[in-house]
Structure 1
Amino acid sequence: MKEFFQILRRFVPPYKKFLILNILSNVLSAILNIFSFSLIIPILQILFKLSDQVYKFIPWDADMSMKKIALNNFYYYVTELIKTYGPSKTLLILGLFLSIMTFMKTGTYILTFATIIPIRTGVVRDIRGQFYKKLLNLPLSFYSEERKGDIMARMSGDVQEIETSIMSSLDMIFKNPILIIMYFGTLLAISWELTLFTIAVLPGMGWLMGTIGKKLKRKSLIAQSQWSDMMSQMEETLGGLRIIKAFNAEHKMDDRFNRCNNEYRHTISKVNTRQQMSGPMSEFLGTVLIVIVLWFGGTLILRNSSTIDAPSFIFYLVILYSLINPLKDFSKAAYSVPKGLASMQRVDKILQAENSMEISENPTPIKDLKDKIVYKDVSFKYESEYVLKHINLVIPKGKTIALVGQSGSGKSTLVDLLPRFYDVTEGEILIDGVNVKDTTLYDLRSIMGNVNQEAILFNDTFYHNIAFGVENATMEQVIEAAKIANAHEFIMASEKGYETNIGDRGGKLSGGQRQRISIARAILKNPPILILDEATSALDTESERMVQEALDNLMKNRTTIAIAHRLSTIKNADEICVLHEGEIVERGKHDELIELDGYYRRLCDMQGF
């Protein structure tokens, strides 16, 4: 339970007022419950005429215990009612009083739910919000080691399990200890001898429930891991349907998923079986406890060796039975909470993941590019092998620098270091003399625009995709950006113009159209630094012409770093850098590199350029 209370300390404080109200309503509910049950004693005495004792009123300030004064005066008022109205009407009055007390108890019971629900729903909302925010803030290097399906499983299945297992147990955790303490105190007040006997039986129940709860947590961790595997397979299947169908691999993928599905079913069946055992087992143990106490107490009364009379013993049994329910609910929590704690561990792997991206405590603001970008002896490695080695590169303002080379030579990595998608392993990158590590990520990325090989669009309208990341963009500005990107015509030809939804990842558009929307987005942002990562390599000739024209419009008066496989698109660059195995092996203009008759010339010859 230590882990459970750590979770409460982390997430419950914003809801303290609801927690205080919940505790107060639970205390009031328990008090009303005890007093309503206490009416059983005089009702039984009246019905069965068990007592002929005469009671006299004792002043409340008399030199006696408050318990004795309260009991005596209570019976005094009941006997006065019997004298005045007779036994039948007194029973009716006591019955009405019992109904009123029960009504008030029901009202406080409803209040306990009304105050616990905002805590439950609020905490789960906060966990989801923190989880999503963490996903946005973690560096890209974190995701290179994680599966998207597993992250989705943690966000959906695990957070849902936290709500189902832990948050649904909040009521049990806050209410049941109060009920247990107050009922237990009442039992002590009625007969401490019987209560000591009852205590001797309880530890065995607690040990049995705790043992099963530990096993449940272990199995829950395995089950959630298997659920993540299924989600990962689902994500891979949806992303690779075209290849699966092209290679007739449906049967293979189906078998693979069914194996995982069956493993999950086998594990979750064990988890659910143990969880469902909690109710029947606690009910059985509770009944055993009542039977043992009934035998022991009844024997004492029958031998006239008990300190309480028969009506008080029945009241004792009623309170003891009332104690069984919160104990049973507590046992349910002991079963369900470990299952939720297993999910919380998986969620915490994301929430408590360390962000390796160091941010300067006193950042230097960067609002524009005034002079140049400098890569100064930059080296980088993802794990053990260096991907870039001692890169020295100067990119003056307003110039276009092209990066070419075979796949895996380090071109994309080189440009990913500039907006700090990854941090350099050695060396430094300077913008106008300021190290990129010494400014904020927001300032750094706000002066850059990206157009990638795969146009990353969202399931939204043309307008919102173009205006993405630009606050308060007007329709006129969006239209102007679309015109410069050669996208306005096909947008207006769609059903609702700029309010047309483009589908998941822009699935309703052709490759060239998606790319031009991506370019329009960069145009609207109007960044001083532009990064083009093979922006035309996946297009047909006609689409390439349209996109290249849009890129030419975008590149005017900007500092551009362009990665290109199609060398025809960068022959007019101010400088071309040829990368080979992480090093710049050649640099210069197109004609100069052709004359060198080296790597660049061979690349051109392979493309027939």
Structure 2
Amino acid sequence: MKDFFKILGRFIPPYKRQLILSVIFNLLSALFSVVAMLFMIPMLNVLFQKSHEIMNLVPWTFTKEAFENNLYYYITQIKIEYGVLAIMPFIGILILFTTFLKVGFTYMASHQTVAIRNNVVKDIRLQLFNKLMSLPLGFYSEEKKGDVLSRATGDVTEVENSIMSSINMLLKNPVIILVSVGAMVIMSYKLTIFVFVMLPIAGWIIGKTGKSLKRKSKVSQSLMGSILGILDESIGGLRIIKAFNAEKSMTNRFEVETENYRLIMNKVRRRYQMAHPLSEFLGTVVIVVLVWYGAYVVTDQNASFGGATFMAYIGIFYQIINPAKQFSTGFFNIQKGLAAMERIDKILLADNKILEQDGSQSKNKFEDKIKYNNVSFGYNDKKVLKNVSLTIEKGKMVALVGQSGSGKTTFVDLLPRFHDVQDGNITIDGVDIRDIKVHDLRGLMGNVNQEAILFNDTFFNNIAFGVENATQEAVEKAAKVANAHEFIMETEDGYQTLVGDRGGKLSGGQRQRISIARAILKNPDILILDEATSALDTESEKLVQEALENLMSSRTSIVIAHRLSTVRNADLICVFNEGEIVEKGTHDELVAQGGTYSKLHELQVR
């Protein structure tokens, strides 16, 4: 339970007002619940014709004796004037009134806890999404996408259904139990001591039963992550699955995971379903033993209270049974929720190495040059870049060529700090990029990647993505420069047409031109192109290449390319091989050297 209270301590403080109000309303509800039960005593005494006749009022004080004396005084007066039967409606009205107050305050308390629960769940979702947006790309290379989705959806829902649903239990049930036990102690401390001997035994049994639930829940949630991962891969790769007749293979893989999930969920659900019958049975055991012991106390010659009081005592004790049963069910719920919260915390508490240092500088303009100074970087134990140095002058086009896996993409990913250098440093205008505010640093740059990343939104919003208050005129101008305006206007709703999931309604060339229009609208000082034309047919490549030339005009550009024909006019070409720059120069200079670049050129012109 310590972990449960730690979680509440993290998320509840902003909602202290609702918390305090809920406790106050629950306290009033519990008090009127006990008062309603105490009003049963005179009703039972009247029924059994054992009501006391009190002829004198005493001053009202907060004591049991004063309250009991004056209540029986009014009952006696009604009985004398109107007869015994008239007493029953009088007491009934009192019971109804106190019950109305009880349920009213119960609703008001629940009204507050609903707000707390929904607000906390919203906060968890927002924190989780913000963290996912802020984590470096390296985090996702080590995590399965399906598992991340499972934590952000299923695990948050599990926390809502378990931990957050237990808030009402936590705020309501202890108050009911404390008030009821206080009344029981006042009525008979002997019986109450006996109750407190029995209840811990029942609680210990319930605790032992739910001990393994947290571990099993954690395994089941991990398996759900695997299932979501297979679903995502299968839908994303459906074209390949069908092309290779691999439907059966993927179905078998999915069936294995769902069968494992079924088996573990059988164990979790069966253990969870044991909570209610077990607590009900143990509660009944306690009541049976209590009635037996109570009968012994009542029939004792020196008994301090009679049968009617004992019946009211049983009624008050019975009000503890449901809260106690909810505690046991809540204990099982909390174990499941804690397992889900542990998985969520793997994201929320993940180390974000891409942080701004204290005193980071603002920078809104690129003025001189970019310098890579003896930069090294690796994933785990594998070095991807080894002591690389390069100077990129403002307004120049620098091309990066070389075999796949030679470090080109990692080289450009270090510039916007998608990863941080491990050795050496990168400077812009003489300032280490780690000393520049991340938002400002990335604001200097625009990216056009090999895979054009579009969102299931309109053409307008995809082009204006990341640009605040973009006008229709500016968006259309960017689309015209990118050779995209014509095909956009041919669609049904023009710039308000949805492009489909990941731009699925568009061809590859159209997606790429929308991506280029986005970069044009942003108007960055530094442009990064990563294989922007490699996946296109000849006609689309020509249109995209023309759009790229419009985009790169008078801009500092870093271009990754496999097709050397696209970088012939670069001011500087750098040839990468196994994490190092092995050659530098213009196209003509590198061809004349007869080295690695020359060999690549010969292979492509044959």
Q: TM-score normalised by the shorter chain: which range applies?
A: over 0.9
Deviations 1:286-320 (A, max 9, x none): 11111111111112323434221110000111111
How big is the shift at 1:355?
Answer: 0.7
Once residues 527 and 54 of structure 2 are traced to their aligned partners in structure 1, the CA distance between those partners, rounded to angstroms, is 99
Structure 1 residues 235-274: aligned runs within 5 Å: 235-274=232-271
State the secondary structure of the residue aligned to 1:57.
coil
Q: Which residue of 1 aligns with 2:564?
A: 567
Amino acid at match of 1:554: L
Deviations 1:231-265 (A, max 9, x none): 11111112211111111111111111111111111
Q: Which residue of 2 aligns with 1:8?
A: 8
Once residues 252 and 149 of structure 2 are traced to their aligned partners in structure 1, the CA distance between those partners, rounded to angstroms, is 22
Deviations 1:430-466 (A, max 9, x none): 1100010110111100010000000011000000000
1:415 aligned to which of 380, 397, 412: 412
1:436 aligned to which of 433, 441, 447: 433
Segment of structure 1 superposing worse, 99-108 or 532-541: 99-108
Once residues 450 and 54 of structure 1 are traced to their aligned partners in structure 2, the CA distance between those partners, rounded to angstroms, is 91
Amino acid at match of 1:49: Q
Q: Which residue of 1 aligns with 2:505?
A: 508
Aligned residues: 606
How big is the shift at 1:81?
Answer: 2.0
Segment of structure 1 superposing worse, 363-372 or 406-415: 363-372
Once residues 76 and 236 of structure 1 are traced to their aligned partners in structure 2, the CA distance between those partners, rounded to angstroms, is 79
How big is the shift at 1:285?
Answer: 1.1
1:72 aligned to which of 69, 73, 76: 69
Segment of structure 1 superposing worse, 349-358 or 52-61: 52-61
CA contact (8 A) 2:590 2:597 kept: yes
Once residues 144 and 55 of structure 1 are traced to their aligned partners in structure 2, the CA distance between those partners, rounded to angstroms, is 85
User: Identity percentage over the alignment?
Assistant: 53
Q: Which residue of 2 aligns with 1:19?
A: 19
CA contact (8 A) 2:53 2:76 kept: no
Are positions 1:595 and 2:592 aligned together?
Answer: yes
Deviations 1:163-205 (A, max 9, x none): 0011111111110000000001111011011111111111111
Deviations 1:327-386 (A, max 9, x none): 111111111111101100000110011111232201122211111111111111111121
Deviations 1:52-72 (A, max 9, x none): 5545322347xxx92222222
Q: Which residue of 2 aligns with 1:217?
A: 214
Amino acid at match of 1:435: D
CA contact (8 A) 1:374 1:431 kept: yes
Q: Which residue of 2 aligns with 1:90?
A: 87
CA contact (8 A) 2:576 2:582 kept: yes
How big is the shift at 1:98?
Answer: 1.2
Amino acid at match of 2:28: L
Amino acid at match of 2:23: I
Once residues 80 and 37 of structure 1 are traced to their aligned partners in structure 2, the CA distance between those partners, rounded to angstroms, is 22
Once residues 246 and 75 of structure 1 are traced to their aligned partners in structure 2, the CA distance between those partners, rounded to angstroms, is 89
CA contact (8 A) 1:209 1:335 kept: no
Amino acid at match of 1:181: L
RMSD, aligned CA: 1.2
Deviations 1:479-515 (A, max 9, x none): 0000000000000001100000000010000000000
Once residues 571 and 139 of structure 1 are traced to their aligned partners in structure 2, the CA distance between those partners, rounded to angstroms, is 34
How big is the shift at 1:76?
Answer: 1.8
Are positions 1:541 and 2:538 aligned together?
Answer: yes
Amino acid at match of 2:189: W
2:445 aligned to which of 448, 473, 488: 448
Structure 1's unaligned 5+ residue stretches are none
Q: Which residue of 2 aligns with 1:41?
A: 41
Structure 1 residues 130-529: aligned runs within 5 Å: 130-529=127-526
Amino acid at match of 1:387: V
Segment of structure 1 superposing worse, 468-477 or 12-21: 12-21
Amino acid at match of 1:95: G
CA contact (8 A) 1:436 1:444 kept: yes
Once residues 52 and 407 of structure 2 are traced to their aligned partners in structure 1, the CA distance between those partners, rounded to angstroms, is 100
Once residues 84 and 142 of structure 1 are traced to their aligned partners in structure 2, the CA distance between those partners, rounded to angstroms, is 83
State the secondary structure of the residue aligned to 2:210.
helix
Amino acid at match of 1:586: E
CA contact (8 A) 1:55 1:72 kept: no
Deviations 1:531-579 (A, max 9, x none): 0001000000000000000000000010000000111000000111111
Once residues 55 and 210 of structure 1 are traced to their aligned partners in structure 2, the CA distance between those partners, rounded to angstroms, is 53
Segment of structure 1 superposing worse, 518-527 or 349-358: 349-358
Once residues 362 and 431 of structure 1 are traced to their aligned partners in structure 2, the CA distance between those partners, rounded to angstroms, is 17
State the secondary structure of the residue aligned to 2:574.
strand
Once residues 585 and 303 of structure 1 are traced to their aligned partners in structure 2, the CA distance between those partners, rounded to angstroms, is 102
Amino acid at match of 1:426: D
Segment of structure 1 superposing worse, 426-435 or 233-242: 233-242
Calculate the TM-score normalised by the size of structure 2: 0.98
Once residues 78 and 30 of structure 2 are traced to their aligned partners in structure 1, the CA distance between those partners, rounded to angstroms, is 27
Amino acid at match of 2:40: I
Once residues 30 and 87 of structure 1 are traced to their aligned partners in structure 2, the CA distance between those partners, rounded to angstroms, is 30
CA contact (8 A) 1:430 1:436 kept: yes
State the secondary structure of the residue aligned to 2:308.
helix
Amino acid at match of 1:14: P
